[in-house]
Each structure stands twice: as C-alpha cells, then as structure tokens.
Amino acid sequence: MTLTRTTCPYCGVGCGVLAGADGTIKGDPNHPANFGRLCSKGAALGETIDLDGRLLHPKVNGQQADWDTALDLVAAKFSASIAEHGPDSVAFYASGQLLTEDYYVANKLMKGFIGAANIDTNSRLCMASSVAGHKRAFGTDTVPGTYEDLEQADLIVFVGSNLAWCHPVLYQRIAAAKEARPTLRIVNIDPRRTATTDLADMHLQIAPDGDIALFNGLLTHLADAHKLDKAYVKTHVNGMEAAIAAARTSDGADSGLTAQELAGFFSLWANTNKVVTIYSQGVNQSACGTDKVNAILNCHLATGRIGRPGMGPFSVTGQPNAMGGREVGGLANMLANHLELDNTDHQRAVQDFWESPTICTQTGLKAVDLFQACADGKIKALWIISTNPAVSMPDADGVAAAIANVPFVVTSDIMEKTDTNDLADVLLPATGWGEKDGTVTNSERRISRQRAFLAAPGSARPDWQIISDVAGRMGFGESFAYQTPADIFAEYVALDAAVSHFPRDLDLSIFADADYATLIPTQWPANDHRFFADGRFYHPDGKAQMIPVQAPVLPKVRFALNTGRNRDQWHTMTRTGKSARLGPHLAEPYVEIHPADASALGASAGSLIAVESIYGCTILRTLITPRVAKGQLFAPMHWTRQQTTHGTVNSLTAPVTDPVSSQPALKSGAVSAAVYQPKWYGFLASNTLPAPQTPYAAIARTQTGWQAELAGGKTPLDWEAEVRNLSGQTQGEVSSHTDPATGTIRMAIAQDGLMTALFFASPRPVVVSRNTIVSLIGTDTPPLAALAGRSGSDQPDAGATVCACFNVGRNTLLAAAAGGAHSLAALGEATCAGTNCGSCKPELTALLAEASLPMAAE
C-alpha cells in the first residue's frame, strides 16, 4: 500500500498524516507539528472517507442536474442580481476549512470581479477578535508563536482554551514537556473545569468575561511590583501609561477570583520570564473579545516577553486553514495577502495585479450583518461554501429563516443532508479531504500540502474549480483559467512578490521556486523565523501599541450559557458523526449544570432540561457536575436538526457581537432553564436510520446501525405502531414486554431470526446498558433474552466509551483499576486504553482519581 503524505483536515494544529486509499491512517513522523502523533479524530479519519451520505452530483431544486445546467444557473442568477441590484446584492459565506487555493479564488472573484467585499467566512465566528487585537497591537495580524515555544516555556497560561480536546496533539506535546521538566508551570483560566485543567498547577475559575479584570489586574501588579521592562517599552512600545491608567480602573475582584488566587497568579506571572499565553474561543467569542486579546498582549508587551524563545502570546487557530484564509484576505474587511481594504494604494496594486475590471473599496457585510441583510431582503443571491451557518451562527433559527428568505441560495458541500443544504436551491458537490489538492497554514504559520489519495467520487469537483467555473460563466474566464491548484498557489505567491514594497509581515518569497508537488511543510516567512525578535513591529513608527481596555460590567442573569466543543466531534458533525467509534464518547446533546442548580430545578441524573432564551429553545440531557460553576450552564455546539429535534444550541445564542471585530459572543448569553418532564423516556437501537419527531430525540451512529435517545410528550395509544414509526421498520416480527407496575415497555423487532430493532421506554430515564443493546442488533439473540436488556456474564457491559481508538468503556476501566491497574501505564497495559492517540488520557486520569486509587508515579 503506498501512503500519501498529507495534512489532517480538522484542527489548526495541522498534523501531518500518511494516508492510503484502503483507509490506512498514520501520523507522519516527519511532520514538525505532530512528529507522528494523531488525536482520536485524526486517527478515525479512515472511517469518514466512505461515500455514505455524500453529495455526488449537482442538484437543482432537489433534482439531480449536470454541471453545465447547475453552473449556468448559478452564474446567470448572480450576474442578473448584480446587473439589476448592484454588486452588493450578492454575497459569499465561506470557511476556514477551505484550502488556500479555494479561498484565494473566491476572494478574487468577489473583490476584484464582482467588485464588492461581501465575502465573509466562519472565521468571523472564530478568529476575528484575535485578528483585530493583533492589528491594534502589532499593526499586522501576526501570530508570533511557534510550537517549540511551548516546549521551552517555564509557564504556560491557557485562557479560554480547552487544548486537551480541541488541539489534542499540541496538548500532548505540552504534557510530554511537563513530564520531562516538571518545573514547567501551567495555569488554566476557564469558568469551568475541563480536561485541560488536569495538567494545570492552578485553575482560575474565572467569571464569564472576567478576563479583562484579571489581565488588567496583572498589568497593574506588574507596574506596582516594578516588573515592567521599561527599557524595552521605551524603544519598542507606545501607549503604556494610558494602558496602565485604564487597567487601574479595573477591580480584580470583578474577575470572580479571590484575592489569594489573584495574588498567586500575579506573582507567578511576574516572576517567570518565559511565559506563553495560549488563548482561544473563551477570549475571542465575546462582546469584549478584542479588548480581552489586547489585555493579554499588553502584559506581554509591557514586560518585553515577546519575540524571544519560550515566551509570547499565542492565539491558537481552530480550523485547519484559519490562517490561510487570513493570509489570502478572505474576510469582508481585508483585501488579499495581508493588504488593507481601505488603503487606495493597496487597492490599486491588487487590481493591477489581477488585471480586474474593478476592486472593492468598502468593507463588506460581516457574518451577523450578512445574514441580517438576507433577512431584510437585501441579498438576492447567496453562495455558502464549506460551512453550515444554519447550525453554527448565533440565533441559528433566525439565520435559517434568513437563508430561506434569499431568492437564490447555492451551497457547496461534500455532504448531501445538512441543515444549510436543506435551505438551498442549488447544491454543488465538492471533493473532500483525501480527494483534493492544495495547501493549508497551521497555527504556527506552517504551510503544508493536502494531497489527494482517492479518486473524486461521482461528479464532485474541487472548490477552486467550481468557483472558477462560475467566474468563467460570469464572463471572467481569462482571469480564472487555472488548470491546477498549483497555478493558483503560484499566482498567490506572485501577488505577494508584486506587493512586497508595502510593509507587511506576510512574505511568501520562500515559496517562489517551490515545487508544489513535493512541497514540504514550511513556515512563512522562513522556518524558525522569530517575529518581533528585533523589537520591530508594523505600525508606521515600527513600535507596538498597548491599548487601554476596560473591564465590562457583567450582567446579572439566572443562567449564563457557555458553549464549546467535545473531544470526538467536529463542529456540525457532518463528518465525525459518521464514525461509530467517535459517536459513543458523548452520544447526545447535553448541558452541564452544577449540582446545586440541578437540585434547585429538581433535576436528577438523566433528567432533561428545557433551556430557553429570547431566540429559541432546546431540550438537553443534564450532566450534573461541579465542573461548571453555579449559575452557569455549558452545552456543546455540535448537534444539528439532522440528529436531534431540539438539540441545536445556537437556537439559544444571541447575535451580539464585539464592536471592534464583529465576532459574535458565543460563550455567554442569558438563558432560563427548567426540567422538561416528558410522558416517557426511550432508547432505541436499530439497523435502520430512525426518524423521530418526539420533543427530545438524539440519533447517533453505532457499530450495528443507529441509536436514538428519545422522550415523548404523549403516551402512544399503540406502542407497536409508535416503535415501527420511530425506527422506520414496517417489516419484522414484534415481541414485547410490558410491566404495568413500573410502566416500562420493552420491544424487539426481528427479521429472519435476526434482531433489527430494540426499544425500551419508561416514565423515568431508561436504565439499560446502551453498549449491550446496540451489540445485540444483527445477532440471533432470542427476543426474550434481548428484552432483558442485559448481556450474558461472559460479555460484561463495557460502559460508556472513554477510549475511542480501542473502544474501551468506563466499566472495563474501573474493573481494571480495581484489579490493580493504578496508573495510566498499567491501565494502558491492561486495556490498551490511551495507548494510541492519547486523547483520553485526561479522562483516564480523572477516572483513576475517581476510583480513589493512588496514582503511581510514571
């Protein structure tokens, strides 16, 4: 089997992957991001490349169409709208999951040929505050950090980052560094306890949006304790006095932390030279996100802790090509190649290079405003590429209605059924990971190749080609006559050379003579280049700028809703949701709630909670845990209307944005919560895809088909009809068992002696082993035995999955621990858990602690 050297399509760590057409997936030992490691999502890539659910042919109004018909229609509708209503009447909404080449072409079409800047992307929801904060501080959107800095630091501060789950390989690099050098100190600043907290020496359970109060407090402390690097500041930084004056107006207590916690953190920071501050969505996705970024940058600038090994701020990027998108300028307020949209010299240079008929001169619509313009009827044609805004935007139900309100909607996706595709007039099938070629830039500015190792399925085409085909049909063919992504990359590098006289950080000259086919992972402007090492920044006087920021007044709300990610799912689950191995880690939409709040609401384990805001409502399973603080809830963003009836958490979030970056505040919103009391709770395992309409339903893939967690608002008159309806199984023989004393219903459907569906319902949350029930589907277990809901003593219930790589369940692990496996290594030896990708190690550690067993030193 020949293996192709490519890059993982998930997070911004950008791990190198060796992949084969037979589904072989290995970490690339030569890639400097991961040196052979992969996390659970990367390791399961082989399971997500099947064609199940793929969009294989263009569709127009729900009917299969050929490419010419679809592309002609798209071009005609966009051209007609531009002719009739002007260039601002059309919009693109794209994605940090596009390859650089795709992104470059989409941006070029909109800004140089359509002549508007109405191209925004999901990076607005992700990195906009970091971009804005960097620009205010440095004059450019420069990420100065490298992964090696993390290994060289003496103190790593995580702010609003759950690195253990969201950038697992980077987290493992840090864990390895700490193991080798236990003096490395780690602080985790997060309103909840997460898997990342396990590595931390100090967890600061901050109030939501308490970050500015905290970092302003730190700046004040640095000033008062004479820890500023005044010589550095004098030559390299402006604005320190004003920033300190503003910081003094903050009260550290507004961070929600005790005086002792504050003092401990301040002194650790002040007395450690090599500090790296890693930050992510807990910082960016806030109504004061840009100010949070600058509050952090201020502390690094005031101490000169930037531009040197083992220190500096580090905004880790989420999507595989969040950085590439920023580089090509694919947002409504950027031009191309880190040039300024409102700078007439930059506009002219780009237009000259593109030889384009026009160039945008004004900022376009940013994500929230873009969908508002759709709602207001201002957008007549909308093209959504590689993103699922009907799920991922705040006020997702409002956004879905806004999309439905646009007269002509096109989507490019690899999957057929998504919440956004369901609203589109035209679906264009894109080639996905493994089928397409291009480049991505990871969090440390390293450009790596994604390479195809599979043939394009059906009539799918690469995104760059689809966009160029439409551009051609709109009359711009000559400027979009690319034959390969290498042509586009070469043009992008040539544009960079053509504008090299403008002072910018971006410099792609290292790629000028690169051979695209054999390109090895390379950082711009050069490998091991250290930005700001000479103390020079990109404001006109060459200095950095400290920004005065003020802590927000935090609203008093009954519940603040925090949202984020799970270890084994990627965003709206269109790909990871296909993997039976990834499903069981957390198989349904849930809400974390503090035990005190749960008991105040009258919720117990397994209860459902209706969470409501003025935008919408959800019904979620309670996960009662002191990991969240009182008065706060946490719910994951992943579930959509495809798997759930009321599990889309962005139905609740508000389209409130940061005034500087326009990034939505997705991490805190006011919600109310109450126990949802259904008439019955149910669990269904089936070899067919269930189609439930019940108030609560959550479908997940299993090794034997599907499972559904259910809850009904009405007791069915005819349970058999209900179960046939839920499971979609009209055939087969039904056996059932009803217990009138407890109100429990058990039902099995078998066909030709093989179990096809099993259903359990009860007025209380259903207590059966999901793993066991699922494993009985497709077997010849006699119905009565299956209805007992228990496996034989020779097949003990493994419990909820902890290790996805080897499918090791909680009960198996507890048994191993009880049997003497008292350390991670021993657990690994006994069960294999944690010995492949290692993503579950934080949970294994927690499990060992929970089992109250001493952890042996490893």
Ligand X SMILES: Nc1nc2c(c(=O)[nH]1)N[C@H]1C(S)=C(S)[C@@H](COP(=O)(O)OP(=O)(O)OC[C@H]3O[C@@H](n4cnc5c(=O)[nH]c(N)nc54)[C@H](O)[C@@H]3O)O[C@H]1N2
Q: Which residues sit at the interface with ligand SF4, rule CB under 6 A?
A: 8, 10-11, 13-15, 34, 38-39, 41-42, 167-169
Nearer Cβ to ligand X, position 190 or 496?
190
The backbone torsions φ and ψ at residue 16, rounded to the nearest 5 degrees and listed phi first, read: -75, 140
Smallest distance, Mo ion to C-beta of residue 160, A? 13
Residue 749: partners with Cβ closer than 8 Å, 6 or more residues away: 723, 724, 727, 729, 732, 733, 734, 755, 756, 757, 758, 759
Question: Residue numbers of the site for Mo ion (CB under 5 A)?
Answer: 126, 318
Nearer Cβ to ligand SF4, position 582 or 660?
582
Question: Residue numbers of the site for ligand X (CB under 6 A)?
Answer: 11, 41, 95, 97, 122, 125-126, 159-163, 165-166, 189-192, 194, 206, 208-209, 211, 280-282, 285, 318-319, 385-389, 391-392, 412-415, 418, 430, 432, 463, 562-565, 567, 569-572, 574, 637, 649-650, 653, 666-667
Q: Which does 60 bind (CB under 5 to 8 A by kind): ligand X, Mo ion, ligand SF4, none?
A: none
Nearer Cβ to ligand SF4, position 38 or 824?
38
Nearer Cβ to ligand SF4, position 8 or 824?
8
Q: Which does 38 bind (CB under 5 to 8 A by kind): Mo ion, ligand SF4, ligand X, none?
A: ligand SF4
Nearer Cβ to Mo ion, position 299 or 396?
396
Smallest distance, ligand SF4 to C-beta of residue 167, A? 6
Smallest distance, Mo ion to C-beta of residue 289, A? 13
Nearer Cβ to ligand X, position 665 or 774?
665
352 CB neighbour count, 10 Å cutoff:
12
Nearer Cβ to ligand X, position 131 or 206?
206
The backbone torsions φ and ψ at residue 369, rounded to the nearest 5 degrees and listed phi first, read: -70, -30
Which class for 676: exposed (0-12), middle (13-18), buried (19 or more C-beta within 10 A)?
buried
Alpha helices in 249-392 (DSSP H): 259-270, 281-284, 289-302, 322-327, 344-354, 367-375, 389-392
Smallest distance, ligand SF4 to C-beta of residue 7, A? 8
Q: Using the 8-state DSSP alphabet, how is residue 430 labeled? A: B
Smallest distance, ligand X to C-beta of residue 639, A? 11
Q: For the chain, percent helix, then strand, then coil, each to nearest 5? A: 35, 20, 45
- Report the distance separating Cα 32 and Cα 40, nearest Å: 19
Smallest distance, ligand X to C-beta of residue 158, A? 8
- Report the distance separating Cα 573 and Cα 566, nearest Å: 11
Q: Which does 220 bind (CB under 5 to 8 A by kind): ligand SF4, ligand X, Mo ion, none?
A: none
Smallest distance, ligand X to C-beta of residue 192, A? 5
Smallest distance, Mo ion to C-beta of residue 331, A? 13
Compute the residue count for the chain. Answer: 858
Q: Which does 485 bind (CB under 5 to 8 A by kind): ligand X, Mo ion, ligand SF4, none?
A: none
Cβ(499)–Cβ(483) under 8 Å? no
Q: Which does 194 bind (CB under 5 to 8 A by kind): ligand X, Mo ion, ligand SF4, none?
A: ligand X
Q: Which does 16 bind (CB under 5 to 8 A by kind): Mo ion, ligand X, ligand SF4, none?
A: none
Q: Tokens in use for 752? A: 């030709």
Nearer Cβ to ligand SF4, position 11 or 698?
11
Q: Which does 169 bind (CB under 5 to 8 A by kind): Mo ion, ligand SF4, ligand X, none?
A: ligand SF4
- Report the distance separating Cα 825 and Cα 841, nearest Å: 10
Nearer Cβ to ligand X, position 251 or 352?
251
Nearer Cβ to ligand X, position 125 or 302?
125
Handedness of CA 636, 639, 644, 649 (dihedral sign): positive
Nearer Cβ to ligand SF4, position 40 or 707?
40
Q: Sheet of 4-7: strands edge to edge?
A: 4-7, 16-19, 25-27
Q: Which one, of 770, 30, 33, 374, lies nearest residue 8 by Cα?
A: 33
Distance of alpha carbon 328 from its chain centroid, rounded? Answer: 21
Query: Which residues on neighbouring strands pair with residue 670, listed in sequence order?
Result: 560
- Report the distance separating Cα 35 and Cα 148, nearest Å: 12
Nearer Cβ to Mo ion, position 7 or 303?
7
Smallest distance, ligand SF4 to C-beta of residue 16, A? 9
Q: Which does 690 bind (CB under 5 to 8 A by kind): ligand X, Mo ion, ligand SF4, none?
A: none
Q: Which does 415 bind (CB under 5 to 8 A by kind): ligand SF4, Mo ion, ligand X, none?
A: ligand X
Q: Which does 8 bind (CB under 5 to 8 A by kind): ligand SF4, Mo ion, ligand X, none?
A: ligand SF4
Residue with smallest beta-carbon separation from ligand SF4: 42
- Report the distance separating Cα 217 and Cα 233, nearest Å: 19
The backbone torsions φ and ψ at residue 209, rounded to the nearest 5 degrees and listed phi first, read: 60, 25
The Cα-based distances of 148 to 2, 42, 46, 413, 741 in angstroms read 31, 21, 29, 35, 63
Q: Which does 418 bind (CB under 5 to 8 A by kind): ligand SF4, Mo ion, ligand X, none?
A: ligand X
Smallest distance, ligand SF4 to C-beta of residue 686, A? 30
Q: Tokens in use for 779? A: 């077997």
